[in-house]
Amino acid sequence: MISRALGAENYPFIVISHPISSASKAELKIQAINALDEGVNLLLKSNRSTES
């Protein structure tokens, strides 16, 4: 796994299905919406504090 090789084994990331080149615009839109939702959820669950 790339994250392990880069020293960030527990780094969260979003996965989309491939290939995207053969997906229709409607399918890409669904994937984009799902990835956005997942990304927002990852950010909201972050253990990192923005307080100083």
Q: 11, 3 in Cβ contact below 8 A?
A: yes
Q: Which two tokens stand for residue 37?
A: 């939702």
For residue 44, being part of any structural domain is answered with: yes
How many structural domains are present in the chain? 1
Residue by residue, DSSP assigns 1-52 as: -HHHHTT-TT-------S--TTS-HHHHHHHHHHHHHHHHHHHHT-------
Is the pTM higher than 0.75? Answer: no
For residue 8, being part of any structural domain is answered with: no
For residue 38, being part of any structural domain is answered with: yes
Q: 20, 31 in Cβ contact below 8 A?
A: yes
Domain of 31 in residue numbering reads as 14-52
For residue 26, being part of any structural domain is answered with: yes
Give the pLDDT score at 30: 95
For residue 5, being part of any structural domain is answered with: no
For residue 4, being part of any structural domain is answered with: no
Q: pLDDT tens for residues 13-28? A: 888 888 889 999 999 9
